[in-house]
Chains A and B, each alone.
Chain A
């Protein structure tokens, strides 16, 4: 087996995996902290991708700048969605099931809004560097992959530092670990939940833009992205940011190695076989559940 092919496949796989990890951290966070499985998470990511597409097409704004710009916008939208839809179900008997059903409906609404605004045609995010590559020896680093990878590292690090170093972040962790004790110490659980949800949706926007740099997208693409979200979150451990990032890396490595060593038709089988193995032997994922 050619070493160049193996390493090249690994490079591409890792970059792809990290972009899924960026999309996955927010999904993991809402699942871990709020017990909300946000099926519409990938649809919010797709909304970010479409916003970046429109900004690039009409104003020439680079997708990275669009990611920074769309984050506060999605944050505000998500606060509204939380107040309107998520908060009312937080007292449900089974929040997980209620949230899945509710956000499934939300995903369908978002998809139809995207069809209305952007039509059903597939789109491709093509900044000036879309088909360029950094060449290092025999290896090619496609610029869109590099930008997506950089965006992921930045986004995941920012979320990690926010949770570890800021007061609000610590409150989010406290709410996840000991909700009653956190409340006794003055933590407003609703406010923390709203911030967590909005933060998660903001990162989804950035993750969606990262994925749009790699793949073409259509209003229904979020369904496929959602499958990968479950993959990274279940492998990494629900609510574990570092675990989600590592899961992205691992999935990237496995995909890359599969593409180098196995017939291509086996790649998805191996990747999703991994999900089944994790569900059977380590249902809590690589790491214990911890924000």
Chain B
């Protein structure tokens, strides 16, 4: 009798333990787990809306994928995205709100570099991991320990690949006189770093080096000056509107440098769509590219092809996705939402993203990235590094199509 009672008790205990263990199982399989909330802001309206919306699409595509695979740490992920209206001040306010009021589990990276740079100290103050493009080199030199650029948008590296390729040309085929027009903000100024270093190295004389404040009222006089000074390479370091104004003026005034390097404005899909053949042959840099032979790129390309009818994902769609990949690996690696554990794991391990494998230094930066692109026949082609090039560069620049 006593034996029977003990047996019954044992069954009850086992049943209770089983029920208890059910409560501890990661809840994805049961659909009742508390979601992991990833918060922050993006410029969904205003000046940088187009880019912000592509970042959001990239992030949401990542979220769809991870939720379909059972979530992060077995919990579904969801976003709390504020629209900062392309305003840096609002980006900071929303970052504070996401952390302090919404008490989000993770932060996502913002745009543009000025906003990311302003949010980095907020993330540091609250000890929250912040994976974004950052705000160029200076933002990573402030001693922040929770910020990562994965990949970063590093103006200082932007033309590295272009110059490395240019250095492979015989000296007599290289340009000799450069006109440099730069938008007077941290993004534009960061581009001058590689120009200054490499023009000296390649013996290219910078005969015009002018800064302008946005908006650029007119580019006619810029082009007249470059033409008069026989500049055979033009660096147009401005955003899309300035880039378009400059290209239109260059064509109208029949200005024929050997190369036009348009660093910032030419990376948005609208460049190819709106300028057509007039936007061709422009060189730029990048830290991510849709034809890279790393896992995941094919999947993203197929998705944007079916969803948006685009050949290759836009740059910022990829950025949004890659930043979330990094965060995902940090959380999975740390097996925790503890921000310091995530940070330490990221600092000590290699991660794999659509931009390639990365390790991070003390500043949260990977080793320098040196991709160079050129737009040829309406397509963004990777021309450097040579081993992953998608086509030969077109140089010198052909005459304008009339």
Which residues of A approach B to under 8 Å, CB–CB? 2, 4-5, 8-9, 11-13, 16, 111-112, 115, 119-124, 126, 130-133, 140, 142-144, 214-216, 218-220, 224, 255-256, 259-260, 263-265, 267-269, 271
Q: How far is the CB of A196 from chain B (nearest CB, A)?
A: 30
Q: Which of A130, A216, A224, A268 contacts B213 (CB 8 A)?
A: A268
**A263–B240 touching, CB < 8 Å:** no
Q: How far is the CB of B176 from chain A (nearest CB, A)?
A: 21
User: A264 to B270, alpha carbons, bound, how many Å?
Assistant: 26
Point out the residues of chain A lying under 8 angstroms from B212, CB to CB.
Answer: 264-265, 267
**A265–B220 touching, CB < 8 Å:** no
- A selection of 22 A-B contacts at a CB cut-off of 8 Å is A2-B228, A5-B228, A8-B220, A9-B221, A9-B224, A12-B221, A119-B50, A120-B50, A120-B53, A122-B270, A131-B278, A140-B220, A144-B248, A214-B218, A215-B215, A220-B86, A259-B217, A259-B218, A263-B210, A264-B212, A264-B222, A268-B215
Q: How far is the CB of A33 from chain B (nearest CB, A)?
A: 30
Task: Please name the residue on chain B nearest to A8 by beta carbon.
Answer: B224
Task: Please name the residue on chain A nearest to B184 by beta carbon.
Answer: A265
Beyond the given A122-B270, A268-B217, could you list 14 further A-B residue pairs with CB under 8 A, ordered by the A residue number? A4-B224, A5-B228, A9-B220, A124-B274, A132-B402, A214-B218, A215-B215, A215-B241, A219-B49, A255-B218, A256-B218, A256-B221, A264-B210, A264-B213
User: A290 to B248, alpha carbons, bound, how many Å?
Assistant: 39
Q: Which of A121, A140, A255, A268 contacts B50 (CB 8 A)?
A: A121
The tally of residues in B whose CB lies under 8 Å from a CB in A reads 43
Q: How many A-B residue pairs have CB under 8 A?
A: 126
222-266 of chain B: CB within 8 A of chain A: 222, 224-225, 228, 240-241, 244-245, 248-249, 251-254
Task: Please name the residue on chain B nearest to A271 by beta carbon.
Answer: B217
Task: Please name the residue on chain B nearest to A125 by beta carbon.
Answer: B274
Known: A133-B253, A220-B46, A264-B181. A8 touches B241 (CB 8 A): no
Q: Which of B213, B221, B244, B248 contacts A142 (CB 8 A)?
A: B248
354-402 of chain B: CB within 8 A of chain A: 400, 402
Point out the residues of chain A lying under 8 angstroms from B33, CB to CB.
Answer: none
Point out the residues of chain B lying under 8 angstroms from A5, CB to CB.
Answer: 221, 224-225, 228
Task: Please name the residue on chain B nearest to A111 by beta carbon.
Answer: B45
Known: A219-B49, A263-B210, A265-B212. A16 touches B275 (CB 8 A): no
**A8–B270 touching, CB < 8 Å:** no
Q: Which of A123, A140, A265 contacts B270 (CB 8 A)?
A: A123
| B211, CB-defined interface residue at 8 Å | yes
**A115–B47 touching, CB < 8 Å:** no
**A12–B220 touching, CB < 8 Å:** yes
Task: Please name the residue on chain A nearest to B223 by beta carbon.
Answer: A140
Q: How far is the CB of B146 from chain A (nearest CB, A)?
A: 31
**A131–B213 touching, CB < 8 Å:** no
| B118, CB-defined interface residue at 8 Å | no
**A122–B213 touching, CB < 8 Å:** no
Q: How far is the CB of B39 from chain A (nearest CB, A)?
A: 22
Which of B213, B268, B400 has the largest number of chain A CB atoms within 10 A? B213
**B241–A216 touching, CB < 8 Å:** yes
